[in-house]
Structure 1
Amino acid sequence: MSIYRIGIDVGGTHTDAVLLDQNNQVLAETKSATTEDVATGIYNAMKIIIDEANVPREQIKYAMLGTTHCTNAIVERKKLNKISSIRIGAPATLAVKPLIGVPEELRQALGKHVYLVRGGHEFDGREIVELDEQHLYQIANEIKGKVDSVAITSVFSPVTQSHEQRASEIIREVLGDEIAISLSSEIGSVGLLERENATILNAAVVKVAKTAADGFIDALKNEGIDAQVFFGQNDGTLMSVDYAVKYPIFTVACGPTNSLRGASYLSELSDAIVVDVGGTTSDIGVLVQSFPRESSLAVEIGGARTNFRMPDLVSIGLGGGTIVRIQDNGDFTIGPDSVGYRLPEKGLVFGGDTLTLTDVAVALGNVELGDASKVAHLDQKLLKQVYQKMIDMVEEAIDKMKTSAAPVPVILVGGGSILFPEVLKGASEVIRPLHSGVANAIGSAISQVSGQIEKVYALEEIGREQALKLAKEIAMAEAIHAGADPETLVIVDIEDVPLAYMPGNATRIRVKAAGDLAQFKTKELV
């Protein structure tokens, strides 16, 4: 019996969907307008590909979703959980309060129930002071009925998790098993404030993630499909629904990473620069062994600095719907604003009243789209300058992402990639693969499942070899828990950084394992 899978990626302009067979061949694809409530757009796109492919619904066994739900909730400060934030670190951390440096409106939304508790550890794993369990019981009783999600952060918990674990046990004992609890040791790396912010944001979007998951599952059921559902995450791999609802913050950059994974698969290249051109922005990322290169810097989400794993990306306001403004003296500006999903009604070639980059490309004869006669009156010389400026912007972004001056392959994907020429400065070759317009949805559908561990080990106690072995085992167990097939698991990334400032010959080890979906072996990526 053939087994099919659906891949869906929700962007600011389009919701892209593909249906693949068990050999990952594309049977149907579509670009549907993203709707304001997002769920309707997902349902519309899914219905189109299922009707077009006309395959037995009972044979669609997997459905993958890359979504902007959580990102939008944080940026717009909407539909967030009622949360409590508990920091274990008094008296050592009293000088700097939680949520410091976070925008005022976000602090107001998330800072109503903030507590500092005695406890925490030194950087070598020694207790600062004993955990104040009596205070935790008091807090739990105080917030009972007032919050539905709790973020717990302890000083140096990536070294020793014991205080966070005990705190979560007390919270569950008083508030029950239904309460969502986010532990910082499972989300961010060593830096306290950034890790705390990431944990608070994670706690704030649990409800949003659950709503998105339930909506997706319901949409599938409405079509008579009983499929296993997975979410795309920031590192270009998949996670199960349970995992996604527990760690929703890991979905916030899955759109660009899906595009990178799809670009790698379609081009059969494992190392390249990918330019993903949408209707609103162009995201430029780097493929390393078929996975997105991760950022080593703190990343801001909704104005809050965080330090969990995120892809290394440069985003510029350049897409098919980007607005071009021409002044009377011949000067012009490109974006950064866009007509977004309204391009089919606002663009000049579609009968609208707004000059966009799509109109420029059509007027110059570079793209066949809409009604070219509606832009025939535009000044060709000026349009060539606009077009060249657009190319300069993307070439500059490509240059920023390179680690040397040597030319590298550049893969163009996304619906707006048709705007760009076949030659770009700094590129050894420019590749626009078949199905490049829905590379993000394909990336979502073909992605593997991963697990990751980042922990500080004292090598004097266990030795480097044993520390690496333990970290690999934990990473592989995480991947299996997230839905990976144990037989296909491989270690795809190891980082071992000695911490000279810590006693005990300490080192920070980060390991990522990835494997195919259980019961569904995928074609190997190059």
Structure 2
Amino acid sequence: MAVLRIGVDVGGTNTDGVLLDPLATSQTNRGILAWHKSPTTSNPSQGIENVITTLLQTAKVEAGAVASVTIGTTHFINAVVEKDHNRLAPVAVIRLCGPFSRDVSPGIDWPADLREIICQHCSCVDGGLEVDGELISNIDESQIAAECQIIKAKNIKSIVVNGIFSPSDIVERQEERVAEWVRKYYPEADVVISKEVANLGFIERENAAILNASILPFAKTTIRSFEHAISRLKFQCPLFLTQNDGTILPAHLAAGLPIRTFSSGPTNSMCGAAFLVQKEAKKESMLVVDIGGTTTDVGMLLGSGLPRQAAAVTEISGVRMNFSCPDVKSIGLGGGSIVRKSAVTAKLTVGPDSVGHHIQTRALVFGGDVTTATDYAVVAQGLADIGDARLVPASAKDDLPEYTAVVTQMLERIIDSMKTADHDIPVLLVGGGAVIAPDTLKGASKVVKPEYSGVANAISAAIARVYGTIDTMVSTADRTMQAVLEDIQKMAIDKAVENGAVRESVKIAEIDAIPLQYIANKSRVIVKAIGDFDFSIVATRPELPGTSEDVVEHEVVAKKPSEGGAAVEVPPLDIPSYRPTVNANREWIISEVDLEWISSGCYILGTGGGGTPYPHFVRLREMMRKGAVVRVISPDDLKDSAVVACGGGKGSPTVGIEKLPANEQMEAQAMVYKELGYHPDAVVALEIGGGNGLQGMLLGASNNLNVPTVDGDWMGRAYPVSWQITPVVLGGDKAHFLPTAIADGNGNNMLLLSGNSEKLIERIFRAALSEMGSYVACAKGPCTGKNAKAYIVEHTISLAWRIGRAVALCRSKNQIDSVAEAIIAEVGGEKSAKVLFKGKIISVERKTVKGHVYGEVVISASDISGAGEGVQFSGMLKIPFKNENIMATASIGVDGKEEVVASMPDLICVCDASNGEAIGTPEYRYGLLVTVIGIQASEKWTSTPRGIQIGGPRAFGMNVDYKPLGVFQRPQSVIDEFARLSLSL
């Protein structure tokens, strides 16, 4: 019986191959019978054929002895990165969404040139689910038939079907049924259903599905060429491709889901390295450091044998997606890195530029004229088989200690940034450039350079396994979470078996249960199972449709370039010199730059809650591009008699990642003002924190209202419930905003004409919204300009803008380590804010109580800057949260004594140390490097006992007294600052 496996990795420079006997992996050669590395050819199938031929000849085996051939390739991701018209097909999208998402078109957040190539049609039809599985509406076959005719007339042959909450749809199977109808009415088309590509997150899943559909014709052509190469070698075994998570996919399935191979390169490095040291691994997590010619890529290999996955959202070529890919960090350090010594500082630097694949002609040890990291490695380690150390001048040899120190520090920094705990962890070095690394590194329990590490990618391809993943919403109202998890695990195992795994070999690799905010007894559960492929069920290799003669015919025809020729490269924004527009009427006219900064600042001010502003940001930006004008005015300019409207979202932010808005915000406002019989003069956001921070501007810029937005809000942050607002603090326990309305965007509306208090109104609407999809728009009745000025937390849009600008400026200067200090400077300086902690998240616990997500995140102190100046903090910081962060408690001294360092209503903001952006409580996960910033709350909350009673720690069940973090500094108005500058000019 055939048992041997072949793994091939097709890289940009080399094509590597390995012939492996899986029954001999315990031997000293790890079962590797032959390996070969050769330059990648312009026709990749020819290179694959050459490598495999060499492997068979070297090992003296026949093709019939091979049980599988597995290929890893970067061809498909390169087509997207290079934005190649010849390899990308136009795509049509059919959304099953009912009235929702129509203002956010496919590709709305893409680079314009890539969107122009791919996104050619969108239709919104009936369908979609609510978060609890109820139907938004039924799908309609006649609508699909009509859309197919339109798409066919446009000669688009790649179609995406995307339904709201489709990953949770295991009963209605709307996407699957619509795909069948598309094939019925347009059989020539390729159909991609979004739930097979990615998980929850409507925009990001759709983006991934569109890219997958666009690459399909090229993927089929490429994989068919792989098939023909295997056939020419007389193989009858199955052909697989490696996936982003380290598992394999049969070639005929990979031809339908090429996006799953996009990030397989780094994954293969990790899995191949783990295989080479599996005796020593003992199921513990390990760091794999892959040192190539130009970069060093570092990833975490978990005890499960799978790479640690990146955060929920990743970006490729400017497109946000949420498909699974490994968490990999890269630095400009490789065997070809250029080494210099500054004539000014006399300091030695390594990289980030490199001679790359020219190393054998440019490096000193090969007779070249460029000093590289390889030159120092040859001198230090006496590597006569690599080059001639005598060609390296004595001056360079004198710098060897400094060179070693620099390389060591670079590697130790990136290793520390990838670790998820303070203890040392094994480090595996692979890649052709691994010779430049030292034998010991701080933070590494041991440094291993395994034999055959130069072809680790190909080894991983040969030994990869199959998987099954279930990502769904579950209810625990009538069952325990344990019982639910047991059922989901069985489903994941069945899925792995369905994908080709031997049932007895399948193990559960990952389990994640995330309670949903504001929704009682509802959680998102993700379970992944992995196992060995069952070769006994594949007697022959399934052929892709078509023959070798079809290869040229199926290539994508290049689109004609758009009028105006190549895209003009836009120079980067000069942030320090940028000035927002404030007109003669003291109206701040929001630009796209302003909006981006405000959005970033809103999420930071959300203190972990409020939901991501991103879907609202792209919607408002699109409105602006179509002519909408967003005007912001100072509360100081409001007339006492002005009518000020208020609106925002109410419910679970989780709903917002799938069910993009319909017209519910305006429907709620229309009910209120139809009842009142007049029109508002301005609008104010309910809260500045999170997605609601943009709602005031969305409402104000709409055609229905067309009024300015007031620079302020009723919270100065985010709070879990809408009665925790300054009007209730300062105006007493009564109903301040009547009438009040809610709308769900799908025809279900409520208008409340009277009520005893804002708190009771909140409870009434909370009961209703659970039956309305767990998310509604809320329009609070108007208040006068006089009351607005008395209650408002002033200039919080300005504050969000300044915070977002500070983050953008630090990022543009590559000074992310200083982003916390930059934010503090914008919110009043060290008297008003402080860095509470820096470190890594080591624990997250969550539970749902009465629809609110309670939990606690634990952060362990760590030097996250990599500056080598020592850890600024020690011990741990604990942050309990109820949707938003409630309190921060630091452990003090060796006895672990705890001290409260900040609490509500002061703002406790957790930011991602890698980019300065906010991290919401649903996004807390193990291993994230974070900076925690405390900001003093407005005196509207802190100046009276009532404010502390409503918004302080005891309001959330914390038995501690509130202590001010600092002195509140009134945010500086953008309008005041830049109106004065305009006058002075």
Q: Tell whether the structures are fold-level matches, with TM greater than 0.5.
A: yes
Count of aligned positions: 519
For the residue of structure 2 that corresponds to 1:182, the secondary structure is strand
Shifted more, 213-222 versus 308-317: the winner is 213-222
Cα offset, 1:317, TM superposition: 2.4
1:151 aligns with 2:172: no
Match in the other structure for 2:41: 35
Match in the other structure for 2:306: 291
1:210 aligns with 2:229: no
**Is contact 2:89-2:117 (8 Å) kept?**
no
Larger-Rg structure: 2
Q: Using the alignment, how far apart are the partners of 2:499 and 2:369 within structure 1?
A: 48
Cα offset, 1:457, TM superposition: 1.9
Cα deviation, 1:131-173, whole Å, max 9, x if unaligned, reads 3543322221122271232112112212226332232122111
For the residue of structure 2 that corresponds to 1:144, the secondary structure is helix
Match in the other structure for 2:733: none
Cα offset, 1:314, TM superposition: 0.9
Cα offset, 1:465, TM superposition: 5.1
Whichever residue aligns with residue 173 of structure 1, its letter is K
Q: Using the alignment, how far apart are the partners of 1:399 and 1:366 within structure 2?
A: 29
Cα deviation, 1:342-397, whole Å, max 9, x if unaligned, reads 43344333344444322332244454312333333652244543443232222111
For the residue of structure 2 that corresponds to 1:171, the secondary structure is helix
**Is contact 2:298-2:328 (8 Å) kept?**
yes
For the residue of structure 2 that corresponds to 1:198, the secondary structure is helix
In structure 2, relative to structure 1, the CA distance for the partners of 1:498 and 1:366 (3 Å cut) is farther
**Is contact 2:349-2:406 (8 Å) kept?**
no
In structure 2, relative to structure 1, the CA distance for the partners of 1:195 and 1:385 (3 Å cut) is same
Match in the other structure for 2:475: 458
Corresponding residue to 2:93 among 63, 75, 85: 85
Whichever residue aligns with residue 302 of structure 1, its letter is S
In structure 2, relative to structure 1, the CA distance for the partners of 1:381 and 1:446 (3 Å cut) is same
Match in the other structure for 1:524: none
Match in the other structure for 1:431: 448
Q: Using the alignment, how far apart are the partners of 1:216 and 1:170 within structure 2?
A: 32
Report 1:311-330 matches (<5 A): 311-324=326-339, 329=344, 330=346
1:119 aligns with 2:133: no
Q: Using the alignment, how far apart are the partners of 1:323 and 1:209 within structure 2?
A: 36
Q: Using the alignment, how far apart are the partners of 2:224 and 2:487 within structure 1?
A: 35
Shifted more, 218-227 versus 346-355: the winner is 346-355
**Is contact 2:376-2:397 (8 Å) kept?**
no
Cα offset, 1:313, TM superposition: 1.3
C-alpha RMSD over aligned residues: 2.5
Whichever residue aligns with residue 276 of structure 1, its letter is D
Whichever residue aligns with residue 76 of structure 1, its letter is E
Report 1:473-512 matches (<5 A): 473-502=490-519, 505-512=521-528
**Is contact 1:2-1:22 (8 Å) kept?**
no
Shifted more, 128-137 versus 303-312: the winner is 128-137
Corresponding residue to 2:373 among 346, 352, 357: 357
Report 1:50-69 matches (<5 A): 50-69=56-75
Shifted more, 215-224 versus 443-452: the winner is 215-224
Corresponding residue to 1:306 among 321, 325, 328: 321
In structure 2, relative to structure 1, the CA distance for the partners of 1:282 and 1:170 (3 Å cut) is same
For the residue of structure 2 that corresponds to 1:9, the secondary structure is strand
**Is contact 2:46-2:229 (8 Å) kept?**
no
Structure 1 runs not aligned, ≥5 long: 522-526
Report 1:156-195 matches (<5 A): 156-160=165-169, 162-176=173-187, 178-195=188-205
Report 1:264-283 matches (<5 A): 264-268=274-278, 269=281, 270=283, 271-283=285-297
For the residue of structure 2 that corresponds to 1:158, the secondary structure is helix
Cα offset, 1:75, TM superposition: 0.6
Whichever residue aligns with residue 442 of structure 1, its letter is I
In structure 2, relative to structure 1, the CA distance for the partners of 1:194 and 1:56 (3 Å cut) is same
For the residue of structure 2 that corresponds to 1:214, the secondary structure is helix
Cα offset, 1:434, TM superposition: 1.8
In structure 2, relative to structure 1, the CA distance for the partners of 1:12 and 1:334 (3 Å cut) is farther
1:445 aligns with 2:462: yes
Match in the other structure for 2:232: 222
Q: Using the alignment, how far apart are the partners of 2:13 and 2:99 within structure 1?
A: 48
Whichever residue aligns with residue 64 of structure 1, its letter is T
Cα offset, 1:429, TM superposition: 0.8
Corresponding residue to 2:139 among 108, 131, 136: 131
Cα offset, 1:305, TM superposition: 0.8
Cα deviation, 1:227-261, whole Å, max 9, x if unaligned, reads 21111111111111122122211111111111211
Whichever residue aligns with residue 427 of structure 1, its letter is A
Q: Which has the higher contact order (CA 8 A, sep 6+)?
A: 1
In structure 2, relative to structure 1, the CA distance for the partners of 1:129 and 1:203 (3 Å cut) is same
Cα offset, 1:300, TM superposition: 0.5
1:107 aligns with 2:122: no
Whichever residue aligns with residue 217 of structure 2, its letter is K
For the residue of structure 2 that corresponds to 1:140, the secondary structure is helix
Shifted more, 159-168 versus 416-425: the winner is 159-168
Shifted more, 318-327 versus 50-59: the winner is 318-327
Q: Using the alignment, how far apart are the partners of 2:422 and 2:41 within structure 1?
A: 42
**Is contact 1:364-1:384 (8 Å) kept?**
no
What TM-score, normalized by structure 1, do the two folds share? 0.91
Cα offset, 1:285, TM superposition: 0.9
For the residue of structure 1 that corresponds to 2:477, the secondary structure is helix
In structure 2, relative to structure 1, the CA distance for the partners of 1:396 and 1:117 (3 Å cut) is same
Q: Using the alignment, how far apart are the partners of 2:395 and 2:51 within structure 1?
A: 35
Shifted more, 341-350 versus 295-304: the winner is 341-350
Q: Using the alignment, how far apart are the partners of 2:272 and 2:229 within structure 1?
A: 24
For the residue of structure 1 that corresponds to 2:454, the secondary structure is helix
Shifted more, 56-65 versus 328-337: the winner is 328-337
**Is contact 2:341-2:348 (8 Å) kept?**
yes
Q: Using the alignment, how far apart are the partners of 2:400 and 2:369 within structure 1?
A: 17
**Is contact 2:131-2:473 (8 Å) kept?**
no
Aligned-residue sequence identity (percent) comes to 39
In structure 2, relative to structure 1, the CA distance for the partners of 1:110 and 1:326 (3 Å cut) is farther
Cα offset, 1:430, TM superposition: 0.5
For the residue of structure 1 that corresponds to 2:203, the secondary structure is helix
Cα deviation, 1:71-105, whole Å, max 9, x if unaligned, reads 11111122123321222224221232221221112
Match in the other structure for 1:98: 106
Corresponding residue to 1:253 among 263, 269, 278: 263
Whichever residue aligns with residue 358 of structure 1, its letter is T
**Is contact 1:13-1:340 (8 Å) kept?**
no
Match in the other structure for 1:517: 533
Whichever residue aligns with residue 291 of structure 2, its letter is V
In structure 2, relative to structure 1, the CA distance for the partners of 1:208 and 1:392 (3 Å cut) is farther
**Is contact 1:65-1:232 (8 Å) kept?**
yes
Corresponding residue to 1:70 among 68, 76, 90: 76
For the residue of structure 1 that corresponds to 2:120, the secondary structure is coil
Whichever residue aligns with residue 424 of structure 2, its letter is P
Q: Using the alignment, how far apart are the partners of 1:372 and 1:210 within structure 2?
A: 48
Q: Using the alignment, how far apart are the partners of 1:11 and 1:420 within structure 2?
A: 23
**Is contact 1:87-1:98 (8 Å) kept?**
no
Whichever residue aligns with residue 208 of structure 2, its letter is A
Cα offset, 1:341, TM superposition: 3.3
Q: Using the alignment, how far apart are the partners of 1:351 and 1:370 within structure 2?
A: 9
Cα offset, 1:127, TM superposition: 2.5
In structure 2, relative to structure 1, the CA distance for the partners of 1:342 and 1:215 (3 Å cut) is farther
Structure 2 runs not aligned, ≥5 long: 26-30, 538-985
Q: Using the alignment, how far apart are the partners of 1:354 and 1:218 within structure 2?
A: 43
For the residue of structure 2 that corresponds to 1:422, the secondary structure is coil
**Is contact 2:132-2:473 (8 Å) kept?**
no
Match in the other structure for 2:4: 4
Q: Using the alignment, how far apart are the partners of 1:250 and 1:106 within structure 2?
A: 20
